[in-house]
Structure 1
Amino acid sequence: MTFPTPSPADWKVLAEKALKDRPLESLLHLDADQLAVRPLYAAATGVEPLFAPRPSHADGRAWDLRTLVEGDEPAAVNAVVLADLEGGAASVVLKGGVLADSAPLTAALDGVALELAAVGLDAGLDGPEAANALAVAAKGSPRARLMFHMDPVSAFAQTGAAPRSLEEHLTLAANTAARHAGAYPDATFFLASGRVAHEAGGSIAQELAFAASNAAALIRAAIDAGMTAEQALKGTVLGVSVDQEYFDSLAKVRGLRLIWRSLSRAFGAETRALIEARSSRRMLSARDPWPNLLRLTAAGFAGAVGGADAVVLDGFTRAEGRPDAFARRQARNTQLVLMEEAHIGRVDDPAAGSWFLDHRTRELAEAGWAEFQTIEAEGGIVEALRGHLIQPRIARARQLLETGLADGARQMVGVTKFVDPDPRPAAAEPETPVVPAGGGDACEPLTRIRLAAPFETQEAGR
């Protein structure tokens, strides 16, 4: 049996009938990057096919189920790390006081086989010191799968302060990487993340550009420190946020892979991208945390389908503090269901062949690359931050987000729509605020936002 192939003209007739008195153009909308999202995509509309698969696998799994473990007391952190690994996680990222020295870090990793379970760091501007501590903790394991995750640019952008000049922090990170590269051949050294732009309200192109320019700064510093371009590129992990807008989030991950291809070619050593996707914090609600489970599931789906090499999901109570054991289990199990029951990772690039997603991926990659070129023309990420050039652009994108929620053009379940008048509380552990150390460099910070906060304040005042 042969089925008819409708043309865009056929669709137009039906669409105009359904719209009644509204114009066809009402189905188009512009995003924060001024890219048009159309109601129809098809071969006839000139969409080029795209294939951006995840090139790696994580020990037989489609992607690496990664968790973030925070804490200051080694025994408590060790208990959480072992619980996460036994509960299905493949790797962990550590944050907090346990990174201060090799002794507490070694105690926190007691019983962890570093050749099997990758361990990463989230130490901000103290990244080189934490990296040295992790290298000591891993002694005797030359095949340890260490992820030093040094990212001084993001730490500086978020706090707006640094004890040294940012150039010195980049050099220190690069020298640390060069020193440990020979001892740990399976390690990665840098995390070139764009998440700080996202969490401050930035657009997708701005986040992609921040990640690319961050990577360029780290790679240049590594080459100056004596590493080869190939070593520096292979030692760099790209960081990106994924949220409940799963089509855009998965297209963002795919677009980042395309940007990396161009960037690595520019450094003369094309390498495959390593992408760590973390769930957005700006999308989380605090007053009623339970709808966050839906948002986090959508974010995990986007990271997996988009082809991220590793996915980190926050606990659903993150807006209120550190997740407790129950919230951590929910975060792990969300990924396990996506991976082992929904079999999301069985296809190399599930989005390939979708006219909309292929077009959206390419448009976002091109917009991100254009913004990256703008940052580079401004002197690179360091000068653009210090000169207050990036911040106003992100502020404009944030304003569009906030206005869309305020006027009803956008909705948040449980916050602006379907609001529970009597939400059930959920437990969270107190989080120690980070006090930035200044005196060496400064910029206007890219302060984190939480989109639900203004509405929760209004609700509390009633």
Structure 2
Amino acid sequence: MEDRPLAELFEPATRERWRQAIEAALKGADFEKRLVSKTADGLRIEPFYEPAASVAQPVRAPGPWRLAQRIDHPDAEKAGAQALADLEGGADALVLVHCDARAARGFGLEFPSVDALDAALTGVMLPLIALRLDAGPAGFETAALLKQLIERRGDDPSALDLDLGLDPIGTRAATGRLDQGWEARLSEIVTAFAGYRGRAALADARPYHEAGASEVQELAAVLATAVAYLRALEAGGHDLALARDQIAVLLVADADEFLTIAKFRAIRRLWARVEQACGLEPKPLRVLAETAWRMMSRRDPFVNILRTTMASASAGLGGADSVTALPYTLALGLPDAFARRVVRNSQIVLIEESNLAKVSDPAAGAGGFEALTTELTEKAWAAFQEIEREGGIAASLESGAFAGRIAAVAQARARAVATRKEPLTGASEFPFLAEKPVTVLDVAPNPAASSEGALPSQRLAEPYEALRDASDAVRERTGKRPAVFLANLGPVAVHNARSTFAANAFAAGGIEAIGNDGFSDMQALADAFKASGARIACLCSSDTVYQTEAVPAAEALKAAGAGTIYLAGKPAEAEALRQAGVEGFLFAGCDLLALLREAAERAKG
């Protein structure tokens, strides 16, 4: 018997051999269409990659990322209880959310005095945790109050880990208003906090991500904002090296693990380029993460747990220093203790049980991640340069140039959501009409502030949620939802695939499907439709059955009083079907939102 390593007994697994194996498995199907996808920025996502050459990659300092929890209860005493519960439960960082910040989502705290701030942090030992302020337009005032609190308590400033979160440009993006004189105020705060450990300025990606920005646009906006703060501090008389230390960035983590990991790796490379251009020796950038508001859903909210867990893991693997995950019920109201515990424990499992933080850069050398990181870095640098040519991020926002580019990407994404090219589990895919309500705290949200000139903030699931809300209103008023009769033709084995597809598609709009075992007799089909009480119907069967039975079935349904008839499928010859009364076709890739809006109106009569 040969005493050789097993791998030597096989031919090398070259790219060409892999491609041949894939082509054989595709059986003539188009490789590009079936297996290659593209990001919102046009980056190719290949089905397989070769190992990558080693690339120098700035990384997070050794050790796990910090687990940060939002403190956002409007009552200061209850907010303080939230903070202590989170810290006792495993968190080691807090995010104090002011009611004026967009990220408060209608809740958050108000700090009219240092006493109010003290009340929210009662029992919290600041030197033992990391603290970030999320105060939006009230950022400078809240930072000043925090300084007063620290002095009152007598904490050692050098022992603290603070992120003051000052982001006047991000606030401009979120509110439409730019604080005049922000450069001088930022410089004054940095001077006031001399000797403190932490960072004053935060280049925050959330306003851009919520407006629909792509990964490249998000990176470019953050980089341009950080550079603007660097310039402002240098102009204010601060040493460039020390000014660099006053800047942190916050990126958004979503459920796409590949792009999220690559994005977090890319920002460190991009910042290193800025440092080198400034003649500075690169230092680790402070990179914070928050899971995406854009991906949260009010429907089937338990799916949000999966989304935020994936996003948290991806941010941590990508090198985030701190991760804030949104509780799964936040889109429905102020999360209760259970929702806060779930989102906290999800990260604890990732860090303590799954040991995801043991390796500083686990994506290093992986072909897919290295390729994405490099492409994102290059495209983001070019997008950053475009913003700089427009006069910087503040000028680009004022002119509307950057907002226009984001809007174009957001529009394309909206089309992808409408056609389910970008599926939303629980909203556009696998909706559950019988879902039970979840519990949130009985605290009314504040009314939304005027945001003229601001970048929009919209969750992807909102169009489907609006249809579901309308369906709930109909059920509350009449006792039943809008319904569609599934006109199943032939035995179950023949129609089941399309009837299941149709039932799920209509449920995404809150339209309940009335099913059956199938019909071969057209009179029986017509009688069943009349008995159902539905006003619309959808033919469901195979293409073979449609050729002979779809037209008579549509005519029978029309004669039985069907106001609108749909067909599940995309037949090559549709003219005869249209003449028989079929008005719409439900298939993978159709504009489902448009179809559901029409069907919901017609189902009500």
SS of alignment partner, residue 428 of structure 1: coil
Structure 1 match to 2:222: 211
Moved more, 328-337 or 191-200: 191-200
**Distance in 2 (alpha carbons) for counterparts of 1:265 and 1:322:** 44
Matched ranges for 1:208-357 at <5 A: 208-269=219-280, 270-357=282-369
Counterparts of residues 90-109 of structure 1 (less than 5 Å) = 90-96=92-98, 97-109=109-121
Quote the Cα distance in structure 1 between the aligned partners of 2:238 and 2:118: 28
Q: How does 1:10-159 map to 2 (within 5 A)?
A: 10-26=17-33, 27-43=35-51, 47-52=52-57, 54-57=59-62, 61-96=63-98, 97-139=109-151, 140-141=154-155, 142=157, 143-159=159-175
Cα-to-partner distance string for 1:139-186 (whole Å, 9 max, x where unaligned): 121232222111111111011124x43xx123312321222123x1x1
Q: TM-score scaled to structure 1, two decimals?
A: 0.93
Q: Would the alpha carbon gap of residues 278 and 134 (structure 1) be closer, same or farther in structure 2, given more than 3 Å must change?
A: same
Q: CA RMSD in A?
A: 1.7
Please report how far the alpha carbon of residue 434 of structure 1 lies from its aligned counterpart in structure 2 after TM superposition. Answer: 5.0
CA deviation vs aligned residue, 1:174-204 (integer Å, no higher than 9, x gap):
321222123x1x1211111122111111100
Quote the residue 1:445 is aligned against: 454
Return the index of the structure with the highest Cα Rg.
Answer: 2
- C-alpha contact (below 8 Å) 1:120/1:146 kept by paired residues: yes
Deviation at 1:53, TM superposition (A): 5.4
Find 1:432's aligned residue among 441, 446, 459: 446
Contact 1:67/1:91, CA 8 A, preserved across alignment: yes
For 2:19, the aligned partner's letter is K
* Cα offsets for 1:21-77 (capped at 9, x unmatched): 32222222222112222222115xxx44335353324xxx51111111113332111
Aligned partner of residue 323 in structure 1, secondary structure = coil
1:176 aligns with 189
Structure 2 gap ranges (5+): 99-108, 472-605
TM-score, scaled relative to structure 2 = 0.71
Cα shift at 1:460: 3.0
Shift in Å, 1:80 = 0.9
**What is the CA-CA distance between 1:450 and the residue it aligns to?**
0.4
Count of paired positions = 446
Q: Is the 8 A contact 2:65 2:323 kept in 1?
A: yes
Match of 2:13 in 1: 6
Is contact 1:306-1:351 (8 Å) kept?
A: yes
**Partners of 2:299 and 2:426 within 8 A in 1:** no
Aligned partners of 1:71 and 1:367: how far apart in 2?
Answer: 40
Residues 305-361 of structure 1, C-alpha deviation per residue, up to 9 Å, x if partnerless? 111000000100111122211111111101000000101011111111210011111
33-42 or 80-89, larger mean C-alpha shift:
33-42
The CA deviation string for residues 194-235 of structure 1, in whole angstroms up to 9 with x for no partner, is 221111111000000011011011111111222211222112
Q: Give the secondary structure class of the aligned counterpart of 1:327.
A: helix
After superposing on structure 2, the runs of 4+ consecutive aligned residues of structure 1 that deviate more than 4 Å are none
Paired AA for residue 92 in structure 2: A
Q: Distance in 2 between matches of 1:459 and 1:109?
A: 40
Q: Aligned partners of 1:19, 1:149: CA distance in 2, in Å? A: 51
CA distance in 2, matches of 1:282, 1:431: 19
8 A contact 2:266–2:373 mirrored in 1: yes
Within 1, Cα distance between the matches of 2:237 and 2:454?
Answer: 31
For 1:333, what is the secondary structure of its paired residue?
A: helix
Stretch of structure 1 that moved more, 265-274 or 346-355: 265-274
Q: 1:386 to 1:271 in 2, by over 3 A?
A: same
- Mapped to 1, the partners of 2:134 and 2:111 lie a distance apart of 9
1:138–1:434 distance in 2 versus 1, CA, 3 Å: farther
Letter of the 1:42 partner, please give it.
Answer: E
SS in 2 for 1:21: coil
Question: Where do 5+ consecutive residues of structure 1 fail to align?
Answer: 438-442
Is contact 2:73–2:334 with CA below 8 Å preserved after alignment? no
2:127 aligned counterpart, secondary structure: coil
AA in 2 matched with 1:202:
A
Alpha-carbon offset, residue 445 of structure 1: 1.6
Q: Which structure is richer in relative contact order (CA contacts within 8 A, separation 6 or more)?
A: 1
Q: Which amino acid aligns with 1:88?
A: G
1:355-412 per-residue CA deviation (whole Å, 9 max, x = no partner) reads 0011111111111111111101100011000000101110111112111121122211
Alignment partners' CA distance in 2, 1:171 and 1:266: 24
Q: Secondary structure at the match of 2:128?
A: coil
Identity score, percent:
34
Partners of 1:117 and 1:451 lie apart in 2 by 34
